[in-house]
Amino acid sequence: MALIKINKKEYEVIKQPQPHILVPTKKQLHGWWPGKRECTAERLLINPYNGCGIGCFFCYSLSFPGHFQLFKEKGIIVVAKDFDKTVAEQLDSIDVASCGYLSPVTDPFQPLNSLYRLSEKIIQVFVERNIPIEFITKAKIPAEAIEIMKNHPHCFGQVSILTPQENLRKILVPGGATTSELFENIQLLSENGMFSVCRIDPVFPYITDEPRQMEEIIKRAKEAGCTHIVASCLDIPLKISDYILSNIDKKFGTGCRWSYQKLYRENIDGYLHADIDYRKKIFDRLRNICERKNLTFALCMEYEVIDGEVRGLNREFMSSTNCEGIDIPIYIRKNNKFYPATDCKGNCLSCTSARCGIPDLAMGKEKANVSWKLKDYRRWSQNLKK
């Protein structure tokens, strides 16, 4: 039996279906991280797995500290043991909730999830309290997840499709669903009456940026029932830039790596970004395709620097009210269930009136805080009782 020591405690390394350890956790639900925020709507972020079997070499979580380094260095995924029970206890401690977000860092339906089903269990925890939840995945969506979510009007799914070419998908997302299965994901969501998002996130310069390829993704996504597209251009964390560029070299050639080194020169808060003119050209093309096809469009975490100030590009390119294309209000507990606090659009980042009754969530006000923790949700809950 293989053992590994973390913080003076030993854990058994379970080898199948992928190397992983089960670790008790006290981590809490929380909102978006502090700093430059582009995400328009408030969310409760949920990460049941640290590390991911999908195997994307470009994943920014490989630059994160803690358990993520265990995965990067040894390939061991850390599973938050019984995290669904922890999430349930935390939701039962609050009377104010936002849509759950499963998950902002690693894929909720990665291969290991088939063993523990933490994602489906967490979805159940949210939905049985009538709190909406969303997911983002490059994997095949489990039928159980759809069955639990389909009757809630604000539950939805996002599917990342980076290329229409299966041979290229195998290089970029080796442990993910096939290209056909990804489009079938969108169709499955649509057939069950659920809102779906197609994410071309990220676009790889000189690899997946050919206009016909991007238009094919959008065309097929629309045919499957999608009405909203989210996009970004690959950014490269400085901490792992050599790792990512060496993978570009290995998989696509030294010439491609040199092209990346010329294109990626702008450092914004520890991430290398492609030249702004290149990025705007890509985003303009994608938005125009979406407009022609009557789809809404938004960017994810895309910025430019003007006179030393970092500014989000969604103000220039987003055509929807919320960046995820769906309007979901804040939910308030009434007896044992949660219900929409108001009929607002949930675009907290630009809100100035707080119709939901939570003044802190009017983040459109000058110098407003934009990052919230579980303790804030508990504080709002207490304030509502006064």
**Which CATH number covers residue 214?**
3.80.30.30
Alpha carbon separation from 132 to 2, 174, 281, 323 (Å, rounded) = 40, 30, 35, 17
Does 269 fall in a domain?
yes
Q: What is the pTM of this model?
A: 0.97
Residues 332, 341 contacting (CB under 8 angstroms):
yes
Q: Confidence class of residue 7 from pLDDT cuts 50, 70 and 90?
A: confident
Does 237 fall in a domain?
yes
Amino acid (1-letter code) at residue 294: N
Residues 374, 29 contacting (CB under 8 angstroms):
yes
Does 355 fall in a domain?
no
Does 118 fall in a domain?
no
* For residue 293, pLDDT beyond 90: yes
* The pLDDT value given to residue 187: 99
Does 207 fall in a domain?
yes
The structural domain count of the chain equals 1
Does 2 fall in a domain?
no
Alpha carbon distance 53, 57 (integer Å): 11
Residues 230, 298 contacting (CB under 8 angstroms):
yes
Beta strands at 43-46 and 96-97: parallel, antiparallel or unpaired: unpaired
Does 201 fall in a domain?
yes
| Residue range of the domain that includes 264 | 156-319
* The pLDDT value given to residue 83: 98
Does 365 fall in a domain?
no
Alpha carbon separation from 188 to 119, 177, 293, 324 (Å, rounded) = 18, 14, 21, 19
**pLDDT tens digits for range 321-346:** 999 999 999 999 998 899 999 989 99
